[in-house]
């Protein structure tokens, strides 16, 4: 084939290709233009109640957030819930920052709600009768003091460690005025308190005076706290006896989620 013939063939091919392209562009342009005039806009049609609305498929399924599978913690307790003597405060149920219990009174140098203070008086007196001397270590802690305490522990041991033995602000039962830490001359604020005569008396008898050992041994994963034989929680005699008899933690007794912060 001569070079001239080859050029002519290429030109013919180009003419055919551009012709086809022009025809295709013309047809597609025509169909776009004619569509709106041949079909009324559906929005102007009267609603047809027999037709179920269809859910449009998402343009990008990956961009649709997954349905929530877990609750988001914490649950923020209301003021009304915070006031209840059976309120469950734990790492998933937080007191209002501004909650201060009414009727705080002082007993043994610590501050407690009046009903807890009178129950504690009965408990300590009964222990005395059995030859047990209990001392009051702490009662009500304000949100502000809990913030200071917790932050000091975090600075000292790191947050992961601090979370195992100190509540974050708003998550401490001490803010209710219904929790008290008790001790003996032999051991304070340590698991050894559980082995003392005082600790054993408290574990066996506190419920008869309206208190429970809130963070029992072997229930660490359930409560979210290490074993604290010294931390007593006031519930009233009937409820305390019932919780004690159930063998459950307070959270389990009321079927309230507990454990860690997440
Ligand atoms: Zn405590």
Domains in the chain, start-ordered, CATH in brackets? Answer: 75-253 (3.30.1380.10)
Give the pLDDT of residue 25.
41
Ligand 1 centroid, distance to 137 Cα (angstroms): 9
CA distances from residue 42 to 45, 48, 54, 139 in whole angstroms, order as listed: 5, 11, 14, 70
- The string over 189-228, giving b where at least 16 C-beta atoms fall within 10 Å of a residue's C-beta and e elsewhere, is beeebbebebbebbbebbbebbbbbbbbeebeebbbbebb
Ligand 1 centroid, distance to 145 Cα (angstroms): 13
Residue 74: asked if its preceding bond is cis (omega within 30°), the reply is yes
Give the pLDDT of residue 42.
35
Give the pLDDT of residue 159.
95
Sort residue 108 into left (φ over 0), alpha (ψ -120 to 50) or beta: left
Ligand 1 centroid, distance to 180 Cα (angstroms): 6
Ligand 1 centroid, distance to 181 Cα (angstroms): 5
Ligand 1 centroid, distance to 213 Cα (angstroms): 10
Q: Which two tokens stand for residue 207?
A: 């419920």
CA distances from residue 64 to 59, 60, 67, 79, 193 in whole angstroms, order as listed: 9, 7, 9, 36, 54
> Measured between alpha carbons, how far is 151 from 153 in angstroms, rounded to an integer?
5
CA triplet 111, 256, 205: central angle to 5 degrees?
Answer: 50
Token pair 């937080």 is at which residue?
Answer: 94
> Measured between alpha carbons, how far is 59 from 62 in angstroms, rounded to an integer?
9
Ligand 1 centroid, distance to 174 Cα (angstroms): 6
Ligand 1 centroid, distance to 221 Cα (angstroms): 17
Q: Which helix (H) or strand (E) holds 107?
A: strand 104-107
Residue stretches of the chain with pLDDT short of 50: 6-7, 10-12, 14-16, 19-62, 65-68
Ligand 1 centroid, distance to 216 Cα (angstroms): 12
Ligand 1 centroid, distance to 214 Cα (angstroms): 9
Give the pLDDT of residue 38.
36
Give the pLDDT of residue 20.
46
Ligand 1 centroid, distance to 78 Cα (angstroms): 22
Ligand 1 centroid, distance to 54 Cα (angstroms): 57
Phi, psi of 179 (to 5 degrees): -115, 140
Ligand 1 centroid, distance to 73 Cα (angstroms): 22
C-alpha closest to that of 224 among 184, 259, 252 = 259
Ligand 1 centroid, distance to 231 Cα (angstroms): 4
> Measured between alpha carbons, how far is 74 from 77 in angstroms, rounded to an integer?
9
Contacts of 126 (CB under 8 A, 6+ apart): 205, 208, 209
0.75 exceeded by pTM: no
Ligand 1 centroid, distance to 4 Cα (angstroms): 102
Q: Is residue 107 a contact partner of residue 134, using CB atoms and an 8 Å limit?
A: no
C-alpha closest to that of 234 among 106, 134, 102, 121 = 121
Q: Which two tokens stand for residue 115?
A: 């009903």
Ligand 1 centroid, distance to 140 Cα (angstroms): 9
Give the pLDDT of residue 2.
57
Phi, psi of 80 (to 5 degrees): -65, -40
Ligand 1 centroid, distance to 71 Cα (angstroms): 27
Ligand 1 centroid, distance to 97 Cα (angstroms): 18
Ligand 1 centroid, distance to 241 Cα (angstroms): 20
Contacts of 132 (CB under 8 A, 6+ apart): 184, 197, 198, 201
């Amino acid at each position: 084939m001569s070079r001239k013939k080859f050029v002519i063939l290429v030109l013919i091919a180009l003419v055919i290709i551009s012709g086809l392209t022009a025809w295709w562009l013309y047809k597609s342009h025509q169909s776009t233009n004619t569509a709106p005039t041949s079909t009324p806009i559906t929005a102007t049609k009267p609603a047809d109640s027999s037709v179920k609305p269809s859910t449009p498929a998402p343009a990008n399924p990956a961009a649709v957030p997954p349905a929530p599978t877990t609750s988001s913690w914490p649950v923020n307790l209301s003021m009304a819930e915070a006031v209840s003597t059976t309120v469950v405060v734990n790492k998933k149920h937080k007191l209002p920052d501004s909650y201060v219990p009414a009727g705080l009174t002082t007993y043994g140098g610590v501050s407690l709600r009046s009903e807890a203070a009178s129950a504690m008086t009965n408990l300590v007196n009964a222990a005395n009768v059995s030859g047990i001397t209990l001392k009051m270590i702490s009662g009500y802690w304000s949100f502000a003091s809990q913030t200071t305490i917790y932050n000091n522990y975090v600075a000292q041991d790191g947050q992961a460690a601090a979370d195992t033995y100190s509540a974050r602000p708003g998550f401490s039962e001490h803010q209710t005025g219904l929790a008290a830490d008790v001790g003996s001359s032999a051991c304070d604020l340590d698991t050894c308190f559980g082995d003392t005569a005082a600790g054993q008396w408290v574990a066996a008898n506190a419920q008869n005076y309206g208190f429970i050992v809130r963070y029992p041994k072997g229930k660490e994963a359930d409560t979210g706290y290490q074993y604290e034989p010294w931390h007593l929680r006031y519930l009233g005699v009937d409820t305390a006896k019932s919780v004690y008899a159930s063998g459950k933690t307070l959270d389990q007794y009321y079927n309230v989620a507990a454990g860690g912060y997440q």
